[in-house]
A and B are shown apart, each in its own frame.
Chain A
Amino acid sequence: MTPRVIALAVIAGIVIVGSFIGFLARFRRTMDLEQWTVGGRGFGLVLVWLLMAGEIYTTFTFLGASGWAYSRGAPILYNLGQAPLIYVTSFYILPLIWEVGRRHKLQTQADFFQVRFGSTALAAFVALIGVVSLIPYVQLQLTGLGLIVETASFGGISRAPAMIVAFALVAAFVFVSGVRGVAWVSIVKDLLLLSAALVVGIAVPHIYFGGIGQMFTELAHAKPAHLVMPGATKNLGHAWYVSTVLLTSLTFYMWPHYFAASFTARSGKILRRNAVLMPLYSITTALVLFVGLSAVLILPNLSNGDLALLAMVRKTFPAWFLGIVGGAGALTAMVAAAVQLLTGATLYAKNLFRPLLAPAMTDEKVATLAKIMVLVLTLGALLLAIYSSLTLVSLLLMGFAGISQLFPGVVLGLFSKRVTTSGVFAGMTTGIAIALFLMLTERDPYYGVNAGFIALCCNFLVTVAISLLTRVKASGFDEVPDIAESQPGPVC
Chain B
Amino acid sequence: MKRPSLGAILLGLVPFAAVCFSVSLWDRVYPMILGLPFNFFWLISWLLLTPLCMWGAYRLEEPGAAKILRKKGRGD
Binding site for B on A (CB under 8 A): 74, 77, 80-81, 83-85, 87-88, 91-92, 95-96, 99, 211-214, 216-217, 220, 224, 227-229, 238, 241-242, 245-246, 249, 267-269, 272-273, 275-277, 279-280, 282-283, 286, 289, 414-415, 477, 486, 488
Residues of A within 8 A of B4 (CB): 92
Closest beta carbon of chain A to B46's beta carbon, Å = 6
Contact of A87 (CB < 8 Å), options: B37, B43, B54, B62: B54
- A83→B19 CA distance, assembly (Å): 10
- A213→B37 CA distance, assembly (Å): 9
Closest beta carbon of chain B to A59's beta carbon, Å = 21
- In the complex, the answer to whether B1 meets A276 with C-beta atoms within 8 Å is no
Contact of B58 (CB < 8 Å), options: A83, A273, A280: A273
Residues of A within 8 A of B6 (CB): none
Q: Which residue of chain B has the shortest Cβ distance to A243 in the bound complex?
A: B20
Contact of A269 (CB < 8 Å), options: B20, B21, B65: B65
Closest beta carbon of chain A to B72's beta carbon, Å = 10
- In the complex, the answer to whether B15 meets A216 with C-beta atoms within 8 Å is no
Main secondary structure of the interface of B (DSSP, over half): helix
With contacts A88-B50, A242-B21 known, is A220 near B37, CB below 8 A? yes
Contact of A279 (CB < 8 Å), options: B23, B47, B62: B47
- In the complex, the answer to whether B43 meets A241 with C-beta atoms within 8 Å is no
Instruction: Report 13 cross-chain contacts, Cβ distance below 8 Å, ordered by A residue.
Output: A84-B46, A91-B12, A92-B4, A96-B2, A99-B1, A213-B32, A213-B36, A217-B32, A220-B32, A220-B37, A241-B23, A272-B61, A286-B43
Residues of B within 8 A of A414 (CB): 1
Contact of B47 (CB < 8 Å), options: A96, A227, A280: A280
With contacts A268-B65, A279-B51 known, is A213 near B12, CB below 8 A? no
Q: Which of B3, B24, B43 has the most CB of A within 10 A?
A: B43
- In the complex, the answer to whether A85 meets B44 with C-beta atoms within 8 Å is no
- A88→B23 CA distance, assembly (Å): 18
Residues of A within 8 A of B58 (CB): 91, 272-273, 276
Residues of A within 8 A of B51 (CB): 84, 276-277, 279-280
With contacts A228-B29, A272-B58 known, is A84 near B47, CB below 8 A? yes
- In the complex, the answer to whether B32 meets A286 with C-beta atoms within 8 Å is no
Residues of A within 8 A of B24 (CB): 238
Closest beta carbon of chain A to B64's beta carbon, Å = 11
Residues of B within 8 A of A217 (CB): 32, 35
Residues of B within 8 A of A249 (CB): 16, 20
Name 6 extra pairs, CB < 8 A, besides A74-B27, A91-B57, A216-B37.
Answer: A96-B2, A213-B35, A227-B29, A227-B37, A269-B66, A286-B40
**How many residues of B sit at the interface, in one of the four size bands?**
35 or more
- A213→B23 CA distance, assembly (Å): 22
- A280→B55 CA distance, assembly (Å): 13
Residues of B within 8 A of A84 (CB): 15, 19, 46-47, 50-51
- A210→B28 CA distance, assembly (Å): 23
- A12→B13 CA distance, assembly (Å): 45
With contacts A77-B40, A91-B54, A241-B23 known, is A212 near B35, CB below 8 A? yes
- In the complex, the answer to whether A238 meets B32 with C-beta atoms within 8 Å is no
Contact of B54 (CB < 8 Å), options: A212, A216, A228, A275: A275
Residues of B within 8 A of A214 (CB): 35
- A211→B53 CA distance, assembly (Å): 31
Closest beta carbon of chain A to B33's beta carbon, Å = 10
- In the complex, the answer to whether A246 meets B1 with C-beta atoms within 8 Å is no
Q: Which residue of chain A has the shortest Cβ distance to B9 in the bound complex?
A: A92
Q: Which residue of chain B has the shortest Cβ distance to A293 in the bound complex?
A: B40
- A475→B46 CA distance, assembly (Å): 38
- A245→B44 CA distance, assembly (Å): 15
With contacts A227-B39, A415-B1, A477-B1 known, is A88 near B62, CB below 8 A? no
- In the complex, the answer to whether B15 meets A283 with C-beta atoms within 8 Å is no
- In the complex, the answer to whether B39 meets A74 with C-beta atoms within 8 Å is yes
Q: Which residue of chain B has the shortest Cβ distance to A486 in the bound complex?
A: B76
- A211→B46 CA distance, assembly (Å): 22
Residues of B within 8 A of A277 (CB): 51
Residues of A within 8 A of B27 (CB): 74, 77, 228-229, 238, 241
- In the complex, the answer to whether A81 meets B20 with C-beta atoms within 8 Å is yes
Q: Which residue of chain B has the shortest Cβ distance to A289 in the bound complex?
A: B40
